[in-house]
Each structure stands twice: as C-alpha cells, then as structure tokens.
Chain A
C-alpha cells in the first residue's frame, strides 16, 4: 500500500496517453530524443533512477494525450529493449506490451563509418538489425555494409 502511494506521488497518473516503463536508467534521455519528445507539444513527465523490482533501477516516461504506432515505438528497442508500453484511456490501462526489436531501422541512426555515403550526401540511412554470435545487437548499413554496434549508435 505504502509503495503504491509513493508511486502516485512520484509521477501523477494519466487520464489519456502512453506510459513507457522499464527503460534502463542511463538510456532515458536517449529514448526521449529518439521519440522526438523534446519537441512534443504534449505534457511529458519523466523520471529516472527509480526503484524497479525487475531491474533494480529504471526510467519511465509518461506522455499525456498521445499514442504511438508500433513501428515508431519499436525504435526505442535499440536502446531500451526491456521497455514496456502501456496505453491509458480514462485512467484505465487499455493495452500493455513489450517493445520489439525492429528488423530494419531507417533514418534516425547515423552510420558509424565516416566514409559512408550517408555521412556525406543527403541519403537517408537504412540498416538491417541483427544480433551477433554473442547476442549483441548490431546494425548493418544497407549502403556501406559496415556494422554499427550499440555503443557507437548516434541518433540523428
């Protein structure tokens, strides 16, 4: 009970909108940037370094009055594969699902290869997403065929 009250106090409940939960604490601001929330006209609430039973620590974003397409929200799987999406209507949870890693990403990640055409001319980036033998998520550039690893991802 006490726990619930604390939660209520930390971030106010949404009437309508989207909650993105279980974002790794250190990826919260990157997730905000990927979803372009810094330019959003809607009220946006966020918190990070919050207690999580599942992960120890987590970040959370609440966006009032806005819903996302699956494809759009799956973009954040690149940095926050553990994220959960909750859609709220009239204070009630109407759907809840985990983000899924997309098989292809377009336009919002920069290619790590400085000699790639996408870094020199107005060519939208395009990558195939794959996991290597060690389960590490990587992007393979459709143009230069070079690999960009998670730690080298820069978002446009």
Chain B
C-alpha cells in the first residue's frame, strides 16, 4: 500500500483492508506513536466536514505529524478561481500526503492522477468516503470478533446513503447476509444490489424496522433527509417509523450492536445511548485508529 492513494473502496483488496484493520488494532492499543515527526500532511477541505477533518487531524497529531491545509474553499485560492489540479499540484510540493474532501464526484481520483503524492479521499461529493467504510468494518470486527458471516441490517436512506453503498460492497466479500430496511422510495439501488448477487449472497428487503430486530448482529442506522422526498407528506408519514427506541431492542440478539455514521439528528433516541448495544460513539473513535493505520501504511511507516 506504500505510496498508493485510497480513493474508492474498490481500490484495495480484501487482504489489504484486513491489513489496515490489523494495524489499526495496534494503534488502538497504543495510539500515540511519534512516527510522523518528520512528515507534513495536508488536509484540504474544499467543503467543510468538521467531524471527518478533526478525526484525520487527531490521527496525524497523535502520530506527531505536522498539518497544513484549509477548512473550507472560501478561505483558499479556490475562491480566486484556481483549478483543483493547480491547488493539488502546489500543495503536493509542501506535503508528503494529501487528505482531501471535495463537493464534486470524482474530484479525488482526478487529484490522485495529477498530484504526485498519495491522496486519501475524505469524501468526494456523493461518490466515495472509503475511510468511513474502513472504520465501519473495524467496528463490526471489533464488536463481533469477525467480519465473516455477519447478518447486517441497513436502516433508513439506502438510496442516497454513500456509507451504506460502500459498506454493502465491502461486506459482500465477507459472506454477509443483508437485511435492507427503507421506505419504498429510498431502497438500495440495483447497481449496489448487483455486488450482493455477484457474490452469491442473500438480501431481504423490509419497510418495517421491527421485522429485523431479532435477526441481526449489526444494526446500521442512517439519517433520512427531508429533501430526498418529492412529496413532503410522504416524508412526514415515514420519518417517525425509522426512529430507534429502547423498547424496540428488547428482542435483539445479545451480541447485536448499533452503528451510525453520525451526525445523528433524531433517528436514534438519546435514551438508547446508554444501552450497552449502542456503539456509534466508539465507532467514531475507531475512525482515528483506522486513519492512523492508513496514513502509516501509505507512508511506508508500518
């Protein structure tokens, strides 16, 4: 993985993901290792994403690396009309690796072709956000002891949810069974279902979250956004049926854990946070270890 960009979840093989997760486990044991002291890493956030940026910056800081960059495009030369290519080529002169977030689909791939230093995609529009997928996989393995043969439910917006698409594709390599819970208008797109079918795996579709509660090891919740609905009345009808409450978890398996890419709005009641099955805040913490591992591997330091 040395010097290789990570743009899309399809860029790495199953063995390579597992390598990242193994190294991340080392960082969880010992997160502060000063291996980046002689390195400069750029975090270029062409659109704001505070959570992702802080997670990367925490990972870099804990490894002793220096950070340069900007937190949104308005405070950079982009606002003067500079092209992405010029920005990335310039910053590549100042840094060993670039972490970038950009509102346009495909921007990270393009950057990786012109930069001359490795790029980690921290989200390119609606397309890919591979480190989120890696931290989701890390969290599944951490809570279940394995990535193989997991029954996983995805709940909410399965049509537009980028994290859902990536995780479905990744888990298709680990013999998962998929339980897909969504309103009719937000079902998983057929291009993503194709990955499940091609792997010879099964998926089941539901509109009612209660139907999956006793079946799954992982309950992956997502936010349903009002703007996804053409008909606002339809949104009002479905929004409350996808809110997770403690009493709904009564029949769930003892090993079941709840994941959520965050930010949460109201789709998980706050009372659930104290439930031992809630794992979404630990999941966010795992993102730091996974990002430490990825940076260390790409820079050839692990």
Q: In the bound complex, what is the Cα–Cα distance between A133 and B83 (angstroms)?
A: 39
Find out whether the CB atom of B105 lies under 8 angstroms from the CB atom of A121.
no
**A147 lies within 8 A of chain B by Cβ:** yes
Consensus secondary structure, chain A interface: loop
The size of the chain A interface, using a CB distance under 8 A, is 18
**B128 lies within 8 A of chain A by Cβ:** yes
Q: In the bound complex, what is the Cα–Cα distance between A123 and B83 (angstroms)?
A: 10
Find out whether the CB atom of A113 lies under 8 angstroms from the CB atom of B105.
yes
Q: Which residues of B contact A111 (CB under 8 A)?
A: 106
Find out whether the CB atom of B83 lies under 8 angstroms from the CB atom of A116.
no
The answer to whether A147 and B84 touch (CB under 8 A), given A113-B105, A116-B104, A142-B109, is no
**B125 lies within 8 A of chain A by Cβ:** yes
Shortest distance between the CB of B274 and any CB in chain A (Å): 39
The answer to whether A143 and B191 touch (CB under 8 A), given A115-B126, A117-B84, A121-B85, is no
Interface band, chain B: 10 to 19
Q: Which residue of A lies closest to B85 (CB)?
A: A121
What 0/1 pattern do residues 101 to 120 of B give for CB contact below 8 A with A? 00111110110000000000
Q: Which residues of B contact A146 (CB under 8 A)?
A: 105, 127
Q: Which residues of A contact B124 (CB under 8 A)?
A: 117, 144
Q: Which residues of A contact B105 (CB under 8 A)?
A: 113, 115-117, 143-146
Find out whether the CB atom of A143 lies under 8 angstroms from the CB atom of B83.
no
**A120 lies within 8 A of chain B by Cβ:** yes
Q: Which residues of B contact A148 (CB under 8 A)?
A: none
**B8 lies within 8 A of chain A by Cβ:** yes
The answer to whether A141 and B191 touch (CB under 8 A), given A115-B125, A117-B84, A122-B83, is no
Which of A121, A122, A143 has the largest number of chain B CB atoms within 10 A? A143
**A118 lies within 8 A of chain B by Cβ:** yes
| Interface positions of A (Cβ within 8 A of B) | 111, 113, 115-118, 120-123, 133, 141-147
Given contacts A142-B106, A143-B109, A144-B105, 7 further A-B contacts (CB under 8 A): A113-B105, A118-B106, A121-B85, A144-B104, A144-B106, A145-B106, A146-B127
